Copies of this chain bind each other. A is one copy, B any other.
């Protein structure tokens, strides 16, 4: 999905260590925020020795960057509901769930991106990748003849998804799932 970050967990010992470490980073970040994220806490939670963490990830920003890069490796794609409106509603529901989760890893990663340039750059790349994948909902709608071929996927996805982030992250106000659905519908109607 666009908003959530999950390390994939393929086989192999190195991959398992990485998965354990990144799962611990997610949990620590969600529970204590970026200020509470330490190599020692990740070591304790993951059961991976701190010397391994220092050797492979070096710093706390290094851990965060790897968490976002692991998210970019996964197999996520937008749900195929058969209509543009349905697809956008599904995307917005994923974002809504990620931003309202308590604790929210997405909110924690966004906050961390204002603390370190490495995290900001990694989050930018992560979202670029997610929005590119989500553009598939626009291609499918064009292929079905639902919307014109010249539709700008990024503009459409911004119209649908930006209100959720702005309201819940920057304005720091609640938004109901119905309101999130409504923004998906406004976006779909804007290109018909």
User: In this assembly, does A179 line the interface, its C-beta being within 8 Å of a C-beta of chain B?
Assistant: yes
Rounded to whole Å, the gap between the CB of A124 and the closest CB of chain B is 5
Interface flags for A148-192 (1: CB within 8 Å of B; 0: not) read: 000000010011011101110111110000010011001001100
Task: Verify B163–A159 contact, CB threshold 8 A.
Answer: yes
User: In this assembly, does A15 line the interface, its C-beta being within 8 Å of a C-beta of chain B?
Assistant: no
A173–B125 CA distance with the chains assembled, in angstroms: 11
A179–B155 CA distance with the chains assembled, in angstroms: 8
A20–B53 CA distance with the chains assembled, in angstroms: 48
Task: Verify B159–A159 contact, CB threshold 8 A.
Answer: yes
On chain B, the residues within 8 Å of A110 by CB distance are 114, 170
Give the B-binding residues of A (Cβ under 8 A). 110-111, 114-115, 120, 123-124, 127-128, 131, 155, 158-159, 161-163, 165-167, 169-173, 179, 182-183, 186, 189-190
**Cβ contacts A to B, 18 pairs, < 8 Å:** A110-B114, A110-B170, A111-B114, A115-B115, A123-B172, A124-B172, A155-B179, A155-B182, A158-B166, A158-B167, A158-B183, A162-B165, A165-B165, A165-B170, A169-B170, A170-B170, A186-B190, A190-B190
